[in-house]
Structure 1
Amino acid sequence: MAPSAKKHATNQACLIPGGFTVLSLQFTTDSAAQHKVYVKEHKVRAEKSSHRPQDRTLFVLNVPPYCSEDVVRSLFSRFGAVQSAELRDHPGSFQQSGPQLSRYFQPAEKQGFKVAYIVFEKSSSVTAAKSHPHDVALLVSTEQRPVRTGIQKWIHRYTESTLHLDKLQQSIDSFMEGYDKRKEEEATRQKEEAEQQQEDEEGWVKVTRGSKGAKARPHSEAANQRALQKEQRKKKRKELMNFYTWQHRNTQKEHIAELRKKFEEDKQRIALLRAQRKFRPY
């Protein structure tokens, strides 16, 4: 009866403190060793991003270095359709970066264990991943999806690191076109804001009555920049006035010191004359 009870226990999910569920990874069917990853539903109050919906995002810890984003996506696709898979060196909120850079301009990827954020198309996939038995390992490398290791991995990385001049030039041209376009849009936006909010010499802004139901115009970046420049000019004038005040005070101190010096010299001269004077009654 003992073996049947043990078999029944291994068919259940393994939960550990912290709300994590243990999942086993096996590199191939011939591999004897298994790797453990820890998953739980991603719930962060401070993060309100549509890229990581709280009801459809799975947080994964201890992802091995040989698992890329494509491999992670394929591993967890058995629980349901995967919308996106993101690998990071450390846990953190989603940061919407600027334009997508080409692989030629991205820094070298750090090697080591990582964390992953898996976004499913359905919330039931998160529940299925959390209830998966820990003794049923997920295969990393299969015949349909081989994962390179050892010398094959390094040869592939070396081949990918070789720069092709035509592709590199095409990537540079594409990036510069997008950069010029963003610069033109930013300049146009700043010009429009400057025209809408023009200040006179005394710093007043002319306000006109808009259409009925129009919302108040918020402070623009150009207006904030002008206000900052105005404060800097005031600060410079104040510093200049303080400099003149200090110069005048220093001049007064030097004048007082010179008067004191002359006073002491006069006292010594009078004392010397008194000492040289002799009484002569006849």
Structure 2
Amino acid sequence: MAPSKKKHASGLSCIVPGGFTELSLKFTSDSVASHKLYVKEHKVRAEKTSHRPMDRTLFLLNVPPYCSEVVIKELFSQFGCVQSVELRDHPGSSQESGPTLSRFFKPAEKQGFKVGYVVFQNSSSVSAAKSHPHGTPLLVCTEQRAVKTGVQKWIQQYMQSFSHPDRLQQKVDSFMQDYDKRKEEEAERQRKEAKQQEQDEEGWVTVSRGPKGTKGRPHSEAANKRTLAKEIRNRKSKELMNFYTWQHKNTQKEQIADLRKKFEDDKQRIALLRAQRKFRPY
């Protein structure tokens, strides 16, 4: 996104189209080139989550690869206390629900420019970051905060890729414990649903009141399985008749012949009764 061509004073913030504020970013104080970082207050009505409150979240664009979450947190700490920082490849919803995985079980992150979400503890910090003077760049690498790049960064990442066996085993055990706990909770939930949808011999379902505020479920997966199994048993218990088309036609012919024979017998019985009737006036 190209910034506006209008000249800005060094003591004022630079606003670009889209409502973004342009912040100047330098790697060191001696760096000649500067990087442009675009920030904006995060306002998404569809995303109602406590992870990114709209009044305390700052949305970042064009975050360079050498800026990690730790670096971003320290850079924006000058505007106020930072609660959390999240960097993503693309803007989107907050973190997916599920177990928290260790870095050893996650796929390798893509190296490139990212977007970020900075959550402050106070809403005034968002305004302070947006009103930062354009002529005062933010320094990434200082004496107190050394940021490694190039070969040194690659060596650091390579050394961090190894894990101590005991520590790795501890992470695996912790993950398996959480997995077993989730499986037990799921099994308990299915048992409760099966109990609520329990059927008697005549097929009636016992409906019980669930916790307050929960919506009733007319059918459950367990109840549907039981109903299907009952239908299959009923079908198997019955004799399989008229499986082929010719059998069905022969059965129809036999039924028609039986009906005709019965009709003729009825006609003969009626004629015999009429012949036996006699006129008796006295």
* TM-score computed with the length of structure 1 as normaliser: 0.75
Partner SS state of residue 37, structure 2? strand
Shift of 1:194: 2.0
Partner SS state of residue 104, structure 2? coil
* 1:25-76 per-position Cα deviation (integer Å, ceiling 9, x unaligned): 1001111110001111000010000110000000000000011101011111
Partner SS state of residue 118, structure 2? strand
Match of 2:75 in 1: 75
* TM-score computed with the length of structure 2 as normaliser: 0.75
- RMSD over aligned CA atoms reads 3.1
Partner SS state of residue 115, structure 2? strand
Match of 1:224 in 2: 220
8 Å contact from structure 2 (residues 60, 117) kept in 1: yes
* TM alignment of 1:93-132, pairs within 5 A: 93-132=93-132
Say whether 1:22 aligns with 2:22.
yes
Gaps (5+ residues) in structure 2? 1-5, 250-282
In the alignment, the residues of structure 2 paired with residue 231 and residue 85 of structure 1 have an alpha-carbon distance, to the nearest angstrom, of 51
* TM alignment of 1:112-261, pairs within 5 A: 112-200=112-200, 203-207=203-207, 215=212, 218-219=215-216, 223-229=219-225, 248=245
Shift of 1:192: 2.5
Shift of 1:155: 0.5
* 1:186-229 per-position Cα deviation (integer Å, ceiling 9, x unaligned): 22222233223312356431236x69xx84763459x4213543
Supply the AA of the counterpart residue of 1:133.
P
Identity of aligned residues (%): 62
* 1:112-156 per-position Cα deviation (integer Å, ceiling 9, x unaligned): 000000000000100011111122100001111111101110110
In the alignment, the residues of structure 2 paired with residue 122 and residue 216 of structure 1 have an alpha-carbon distance, to the nearest angstrom, of 33
Supply the AA of the counterpart residue of 2:157.
R
In the alignment, the residues of structure 1 paired with residue 34 and residue 114 of structure 2 have an alpha-carbon distance, to the nearest angstrom, of 17
Partner SS state of residue 86, structure 1? strand
Shift of 1:163: 3.1
Gaps (5+ residues) in structure 1? 1-5, 253-282
* 1:220-271 per-position Cα deviation (integer Å, ceiling 9, x unaligned): 59x421354368679989xx9xxx999528997xxxxxxxxxxxxxxxxxxx
Instruction: Using the TM superposition, name which of 28-37 and 184-193 deviates more.
Output: 184-193
Q: Write 1 or 2 for the structure with the bigger share of helix.
A: 1
Q: How many residues in Structure 1 have an aligned counterpart in Structure 2?
A: 238
Change (3 A) 1:60 1:8: closer
Supply the AA of the counterpart residue of 1:218.
K
Instruction: Using the TM superposition, name which of 185-194 and 126-135 deviates more.
Output: 185-194
Partner SS state of residue 163, structure 1? coil
